[in-house]
Structure 1
Amino acid sequence: MHLCSVIAVLLIAFAIDAIHSSNLKRLFDLNPDIFRTTPELITSRGFVPEQHLVTTDDGYVLVVFRIINPYVKQVKRPIILWHGLGVSSDSWLFSTEGRINASGIYVENSWLINDCNESVTNSLGFTLASCGWDVWLPNSRSGHYSVGHVKLDPNRDPLYWKFNLNELALYDIPAVVEFVLHTTGHKTVGYVAHSLGTDQMFALQSLIPESGKLFEPFIALAPVAYLGGIWSVARFGVPLEPLLRAFPGPLGVPAPIMQLIAVVICGNEYLNDICLDTLNLIDGADNPNFNRSTVTVEVAHSAVTSSTWLLAHLAQMVTSNRYQMMNHGRVENILRYGQSEPPAYPLGDITSPNIALFRGQNDALADVYDVQHLIDSLKVKLLDNYIVPYEKWEHHDFQVAITQGFYVNRRVLQLLAKFDHAS
């Protein structure tokens, strides 16, 4: 065979391979972040992960990750980032546009973050770590990481699953905060949370007002307390509340199944609108601002297992339009609370002046009227009452929007800087 013929055959082979590769990319998304755990996400950006086990007073073993920036000589105060419902600590780390390394440089385009008040990325966890903050990433009980208990077996003991918002507020948060303060030697922490992570903090500070002194500041992204106005598709699950309460147990989807859905459906050019439309129905439609490159990753890291009791508690608050403790029925309410109806969380008892609210105008889960109801119930002056100046800003834009860095993370850094002197 002549040399020209050999070259021609090789070129055809390369062309066929390229075509096949192109088709595969259109049919599947194999972004490695789909399969990465929190430590792997941290390592992939050049940071160093630490893993800690924290045991709550009621026996649950929580997994808490820490981001170590090897380039920072003097670390700033500890900041706790608490995730929302159905996700884990992963949710603070997988924004594609926030793919930076520990020295503050984008992997893709070598953009140096030399001004942490202006030049920020869309990944809050990595932005804070790059700017020198001591970032801690806890995982709530029963989730993707925190499945342990000192006595109860989640596969055998229904008692393991009998927890609701009260336990997240009165056990999970205090255990993590105490551990972080003891480990770092500081007297206060910053607390930034999304959705349910804010809900549990409002419950804690309303029941134990003096606890507010520990949080400088508490920044609530998509703040949740009252739920009566939600217009998410999730509302259709509210009638299942009696069933959820009657059968305490896990509710979620195993990570391998969510990864498969992400790769085969969400990563398919011809099917990915199914995933996007589903997210829109849950959170509030915002296609122009949604980072489509993160859809597969977000789906892969969602549907994390939680308790049916917690979901029942949230469903009750949707129905009642009250920010109240779980309703166990008249007889058990009397035994638990000393009254036939569950008491409300006394938001008016909160005393902390260091609470900042970040809210959207198109949020299906933290509805504008529910958030205003929360504000009206608080008697303290807010540190910040920030309405994102983009009318379609929805629930998960706080973690996956293409403009998250500009609209949210930059302002978070500015607020944290006010407390940089705190101990």
Structure 2
Amino acid sequence: MHFCTKFLIVITAFCSYSMELKQPIVSYILNKINNSEEGTNSRADPLSKNVEGLEKLLSETEALNQTEKIYTVEHLVKSNGYPIETHYVTTGDGYILRVHRIPSSPKMNASNGKVAFLQHGILCSAADWVITGSEKGLGFLLADAGYDVWMGNARGNTWSRNHTTLNPDKDAKFWKFSFHEIGLYDIPAMIDYALEKTGASSVYYVGHSQGTTAYYVMLSELPAYNSKIKMAANLAPIAFLNHMSPLFQIMSLFEPMGNFLANLIGINEFMPTSNFFKYLIGNKICAEDSVTEYLCTNALFAFCGFDYAQLNKTLLLFIIKYTPAGGSTRQFFHYGQAIHSDKTNILSDLD
């Protein structure tokens, strides 16, 4: 069995235990896979076949590079009939961030003159705000309401993996950041850029998860930015860590040693987007009603917390094309340090 499959099974087991699910999900999945290997299931998943079959599947995903252009934020917005602009912002410490703008809506004749700035959560990207389509995506809904919508991308994710002097594939220093630097450099730079381009004096800020933590860092460390925020909506805010997801709680127990080992062996980038996630995990393991679908849903719940009623299983295949968008291991260790040391210590820098 492939290593990543085993990893997802472990995550599923952990989630099943932490949520006290009565059904032995892991045993159920393993039995299904074993049955598939024995030929008792005509809908056997490619992962349950021989090594040659897996290698063929992996080679097929490599051939899909030519379709990469359709899995962009630009494509998401354009395919829904909205205009989009792509901007690049350089931070004070040299990171080059991609910012997406929806300047108007085909459903609106005139703008209301207000600027909305949206900041994603950990391992995510600007795609989060538009992936659910024009009827539900917040980016689209705000544009429909007359807002000039700007969607930021934090350093190190799929769209902001760039720097004026550092190479993310060669320089470990590129990855030496957490949500503290995102709040200190990224969000202020992107807000200033949006204000300069639009001529507005303030923005309506919407942050999700880490996008709220970084926002608190910005206002704490750079109080002048309070006047640049007209209103803020914090979704799943992270200021106190008593109710973090199960996986974060477990990670916090190993944070001191984990951070040391990551630095020692050079693990800097965490879960970057790849063809493996987009096609093998997305198209095969996460397929709706497949025997391995539980692996995806429970791995997701381990990171985000359990809420099955709010999970769109059909959309999950599409979400995997954009998430995880990658980040730095230090982002996770910083949250772990805050949980482990002091639940009110969220604004302090990473040791």
TM-score (normalised: structure 2)? 0.73
| Mapped contact 1:258–1:299 kept (Cα < 8 A) | yes
Matched residue, 2:103: 68
| Mapped contact 1:35–1:259 kept (Cα < 8 A) | no
Q: 1:156 to 1:253 in 2, by over 3 A?
A: closer
Matched residue, 1:107: none
Q: 1:310 to 1:159 in 2, by over 3 A?
A: same
1:55 aligns with 2:90: yes
Give the Cα–Cα distance (whole angstroms) in 2 for the partners of residues 299 and 136 of structure 1. Answer: 23
| Mapped contact 2:161–2:168 kept (Cα < 8 A) | yes
Q: Structure 2: 5+ residue runs without aligned partners?
A: 1-41, 47-66
Three-state SS of the structure 2 residue aligned to 1:177 is: helix
| Mapped contact 2:216–2:347 kept (Cα < 8 A) | no
Three-state SS of the structure 2 residue aligned to 1:311 is: helix
Give the Cα–Cα distance (whole angstroms) in 1 for the partners of residues 206 and 68 of structure 2. Answer: 23
* Structure number having the greater helix percentage: 2
Give the aligned length.
278
Structure 1 residues 242-264: Cα deviation after superposition (integer angstroms, max 9, x where no partner): 32355462111333221111111
Structure 1 residues 276-311: Cα deviation after superposition (integer angstroms, max 9, x where no partner): 122223222222332222222223322222112222
Three-state SS of the structure 2 residue aligned to 1:148 is: coil
| Mapped contact 2:95–2:162 kept (Cα < 8 A) | yes
Q: Structure 1: 5+ residue runs without aligned partners?
A: 1-22, 101-120, 329-423
Structure 1 residues 323-376: Cα deviation after superposition (integer angstroms, max 9, x where no partner): 242343xxxxxxxxxxxxxxxxxxxxxxxxxxxxxxxxxxxxxxxxxxxxxxxx
Alignment of 1:22-41 (within 5 A): 36-41=71-76
Three-state SS of the structure 2 residue aligned to 1:312 is: helix
| Mapped contact 2:119–2:153 kept (Cα < 8 A) | yes
Three-state SS of the structure 2 residue aligned to 1:48 is: coil
Three-state SS of the structure 1 residue aligned to 2:84 is: strand
Q: Which amino acid aligns with 2:83?
A: V
Alignment partner of 2:276 out of 250, 253, 257: 257
Q: 1:175 to 1:248 in 2, by over 3 A?
A: farther
Structure 1 residues 41-62: Cα deviation after superposition (integer angstroms, max 9, x where no partner): 0001001110001000111000
Q: 1:298 to 1:180 in 2, by over 3 A?
A: same
Q: 1:34 to 1:283 in 2, by over 3 A?
A: farther
Three-state SS of the structure 2 residue aligned to 1:149 is: coil
> After the TM superposition, which segments of 4 or more aligned residues of structure 1 sit over 4 Å from their partners?
32-35
Three-state SS of the structure 2 residue aligned to 1:300 is: coil
Q: Which amino acid aligns with 1:170?
A: L
Structure 1 residues 128-153: Cα deviation after superposition (integer angstroms, max 9, x where no partner): 11222111111001110111111111
Matched residue, 2:286: 266
Matched residue, 1:314: 335
Structure 1 residues 223-277: Cα deviation after superposition (integer angstroms, max 9, x where no partner): 0122244242233333123323554621113332211111111115222222112
Q: 1:248 to 1:259 in 2, by over 3 A?
A: closer
Give the Cα–Cα distance (whole angstroms) in 1 for the partners of residues 158 and 204 of structure 2. Answer: 24
Q: 1:69 to 1:33 in 2, by over 3 A?
A: farther
Deviation of the 1:166 alpha carbon? 2.3
Q: 1:181 to 1:303 in 2, by over 3 A?
A: same
| Mapped contact 1:34–1:296 kept (Cα < 8 A) | no
Alignment partner of 1:89 out of 92, 108, 126: 126
Q: 1:33 to 1:249 in 2, by over 3 A?
A: closer
Give the Cα–Cα distance (whole angstroms) in 2 for the partners of residues 311 and 274 of structure 1. Answer: 22
Matched residue, 2:218: 204
Alignment of 1:279-290 (within 5 A): 279-290=300-311
| Mapped contact 1:228–1:319 kept (Cα < 8 A) | no
Matched residue, 1:186: 200
TM-score (normalised: structure 1)? 0.61
Give the Cα–Cα distance (whole angstroms) in 2 for the partners of residues 202 and 136 of structure 1. Answer: 19
| Mapped contact 1:244–1:312 kept (Cα < 8 A) | no
Q: 1:318 to 1:255 in 2, by over 3 A?
A: same
Alignment partner of 1:301 out of 322, 327, 349: 322
Three-state SS of the structure 1 residue aligned to 2:306 is: coil
Q: 1:248 to 1:122 in 2, by over 3 A?
A: same
Three-state SS of the structure 2 residue aligned to 1:151 is: coil
| Mapped contact 1:153–1:160 kept (Cα < 8 A) | yes
Give the Cα–Cα distance (whole angstroms) in 2 for the partners of residues 149 and 278 of structure 1. Answer: 31
